Every structure is written in structure tokens, then in C-alpha cells.
Amino acid sequence: MPLELAAAASLALWLYLLFFRGAFWREFRKPYAPPEGSLRHTPRGLPRIVAVIPARNEAATIARAVRSLAPEHYPGLFHIIVVDDDSTDGTAATARAAATPDVLTVVHAAPLPAGWTGKLWALSEGIRHSVGLHPDYLLLTDADIVHPPGALEDLAARAAAGPYDLVSFMATLECRSPAERALVPAFVFFFFLLYPPAWIRDPRRSTAGAAGGCILVRQAALGKIGGIAAIRGSLIDDCALARAIKRSGGRIWLSLNPSTISIRTYRTFGEIGRMISRTAFTQLHHSTLLLFATILGLVVTYLLPPVVAVFAPQPAAGMAATAWLLMSVSHFPALRFYNRGWFAAPLLPLVALFYLGATVHSAISYWLGSGGRWKGRIQDKPA
């Protein structure tokens, strides 16, 4: 009886996730299409955009990120501000060499104040330097993001078409190394499961999320929430910004764009594990109760179906096998988006086990006072 109840619970969960969770898995099946019409034909013309790129020891990627935002791809007023966040690898010089001064300004962030995360302080410094350019929108993007030609106009057109106050593309992550091929599709899958894009776009729902690598935000909407300072201590800054914008009455939009690419590589399972661990316990609000609930939820949702399907008698095995099948069906579109074969779909329980381990590691790191470690900074520890 206990096995039958557990198998039934897993099956009920996957029926809900597949059919009643905003069809999050379908997002991978719909290729991005720019909105109809062109900004060139609107009465106001093209909006003024300033891109702000926070960069801390990003010499390996910053030049490609800056060049991808070359002004010839956007005929309106556009400027790039790179904020060098105390780099030691020549990031600032590399950025300056990637574009001319009329297009690019490199500024050095002031020392990090208490209560701020490094990235948000760098963004705040860049936004402060943008004031004289009077932007309609700010493009908040990362130093490892390569944008396709036309991305700025697509983002601005999408914002105008909504109208939306925040528009975000989930960048396509590198998926070449064995670790990336095993874990990256599930990373985006889990993100969309937590933050279904259809719910994010629905103004009637409170669900809010964004992808920090590519966010176009209306300057007026940012001012309405009190600027970046309103979320200054947030480690999961993209979703915190989206939540603040939506709570203030703004509308937000998120989708995948296969042409917006992250060139940051993760060569080993350890590197990806640390990336997940950096924010996992923060996502749980540092709650031990939520940690145990998450562990239980992951076990029932992902680990129990294959174990019960293989080792338990009927009818528990049949229900668990059906749950495993539904899990695999929902995961397959993410795998196909990243050019992975169908055979990897049933292996999602093993990937979930890895993510569970990273979540536990995140909690332990926080309790030991070394949580949120990024580029030499510890940004998440008990007060």
C-alpha cells in the first residue's frame, strides 16, 4: 500500500506538470519569431537604448559580447557601458579594444558597499553613468552573452508590442562538454518548470522570472520600483527584478532565443555543480524546512518513479512507469532544443539526483559561511 500511494503521488505530479503547469515544456518546441511590424514605422521612431554589461575578470569573453552589440545592427540611439568590477585580468582594456569610444564607455565600479551583491552594484554604477544619455530602455546583459544581429530591434519591438516593461531572452547555453551535454538541457528545463513563461507573460498571474543574461527593461519601470537599489542584496537578481517590476504593475515577457548565445563554458561536472550551488539555497530562502521539503519533492517526483517501476510489484510499478514516461516526454523537447537524442530523456532522474546534491551542498556552504561564492566573493552567508 505505501508503494502504491507513493507511485500514485508521482503519477499525479507528472500529470499536473505536463498538463497544468503552463505547458512549460512546449516553450522548447516554439522557435522564437520576432513580432510583426517594425519599430522604424512607429510614430516615435526607435527608442534610445543603453546596454550595461557588468564584468569581473571576463577578458576571455567580453570582446565578443561587445562586438555582438555593434551599432550597425541598431539604427537608433545606442550606447554600451561596460562596468569593470575590480578585474585583475585586463577586462577593461580588452573591452576598450572591441569598440570605438563613441559606441563604448568603460567605467570602473566604486568599492562594493555593504548590502550589495557585486553584479548588482556594477549594474547600478553603469545605470548611473547612463543617465546623461536619457535612455528609454536599458539592456542589462552579461559579459558572456553574444547577441545576434537585430536583437536590439527585436527586443524593443517585443516591448512595444506588448506593451511590456521587461523583455528577456533565455540565452542558449554551451552544450559541448560531457558535463554540459548531461546537465545543461535539464538546467533550462527546471527553470521553466519553476517559472513557466506563459505564466510570466500573463498579467493575471503573480509568477515572475527573467534570464539575467539578456534583459531589456523600460527605464521608467525601473525608476518606479526605486531602481536597482530595490533588489541590491539579491543573488537571484534576474527573477528579483522581474518580480519587483510585475508587483509594481508592470508587464513582463520571457522566452527562448536560440540565436542569443552564452559562450561561458563549463568543462566539468564540478563547475556546473558550483554554479547550481551558488544560488540553490537562496532560492529556498535559507529555510531548513524548505530544504527538506525540496529533497522530498525531488525524490517523489524524479527518483521514485524509476525505482518503483523496476523493483516494485503491480499496480505500483505500472503507475510509476507511467510517471517515468510522462517525465521523459516532457523532458524531450529540451533535449531536442540542445541537439540531444531521445535516449537521454529517461535519464532525467540521474540528473535530478545531481541537482539534489548541489542543493544540499548549497545549504552546507551557506551554514559554513561560504555560500554564493562567485569570482572570489562570498555573497551569501548567515548574518
Residue-wise pLDDT for 297-340, tens only, equals 999 999 999 999 999 899 999 999 999 999 999 999 999 999 99
Per the structure, the complete domain to which residue 164 belongs is given by 26-262
Cell triple for 327: 517525465
Name the residue among 249, 253, 154 with its Cα closest to residue 209.
Answer: 253
> What is the spatial distance between Cα 11 and Cα 319, in angstroms, rounded to a whole number?
6
Clarify whether residues 12 and 88 are in a common domain: no
Query: Does residue 381 sit within a domain?
Result: no
Query: Does residue 382 sit within a domain?
Result: no
Residue 375: pLDDT band (50, 70, 90) is: confident
Q: Is residue 42 scored above 70 in pLDDT?
A: no
Clarify whether residues 244 and 298 are in a common domain: no
Q: Is residue 23 scored above 50 in pLDDT?
A: yes
Among the candidates 262, 278, 297, a domain finishes at 262
Clarify whether residues 297 and 205 are in a common domain: no
> Where is average pLDDT lowest: 58-72, 81-95, 177-191, 345-359?
58-72
Q: Is residue 5 scored above 70 in pLDDT?
A: yes
Clarify whether residues 141 and 190 are in a common domain: yes
Query: Does residue 375 sit within a domain?
Result: no
The pLDDT of residue 370 is 86
Share of the chain above pLDDT 70, in %: 95
Q: Is residue 36 scored above 70 in pLDDT?
A: no
The pLDDT of residue 41 is 41
The pLDDT of residue 150 is 86
What tens digit of pLDDT does each residue of 151-185 get? 898 899 899 988 999 999 999 999 999 999 999 99
Clarify whether residues 251 and 273 are in a common domain: no
Among the candidates 262, 295, 316, a domain finishes at 262
Average pLDDT, the chain: 92
Axis crossing angle, helix 178-194 with helix 316-337, rounded to the nearest 10: 110
Clarify whether residues 96 and 13 are in a common domain: no
What tens digit of pLDDT does each residue of 255-293 get? 998 999 999 999 999 999 999 999 999 999 999 999 999
Confidence (pTM)? 0.93
Clarify whether residues 331 and 359 are in a common domain: yes
Domain count, the chain: 2
Name the residue among 212, 203, 205 with its Cα closest to residue 250.
Answer: 203
Query: Does residue 150 sit within a domain?
Result: yes
N-to-C CA span, the chain = 45
Clarify whether residues 317 and 194 are in a common domain: no
Query: Does residue 379 sit within a domain?
Result: no
Among the candidates 262, 289, 312, a domain finishes at 262
CATH value at residue 117:
3.90.550.10
Clarify whether residues 33 and 7 are in a common domain: no
Clarify whether residues 141 and 288 are in a common domain: no
What tens digit of pLDDT does each residue of 199-247 get? 999 999 999 999 999 999 999 999 999 999 999 999 999 999 999 999 9
The pLDDT of residue 379 is 81
The pLDDT of residue 31 is 61
The pLDDT of residue 43 is 43
Burial 45-62 (b: 16+ CB within 10 A, else e): ebbbbbbbbbbbbbbebb
Work out the number of other CB atoms within 10 angstroms of the CB of residue 258. 15
What tens digit of pLDDT does each residue of 339-373 get? 999 999 999 999 999 999 999 999 999 999 888 77
> What is the spatial distance between Cα 296 and Cα 54, in angstroms, rounded to a whole number?
37
Cell triple for 82: 561596460
> What is the spatial distance between Cα 266 and Cα 29, in angstroms, rounded to a whole number?
25
Query: Does residue 380 sit within a domain?
Result: no
Q: Is residue 40 scored above 90 in pLDDT?
A: no
The pLDDT of residue 281 is 92
Sign of CA dihedral 296, 286, 262, 270: negative
Clarify whether residues 225 and 322 are in a common domain: no
Clarify whether residues 317 and 346 are in a common domain: yes
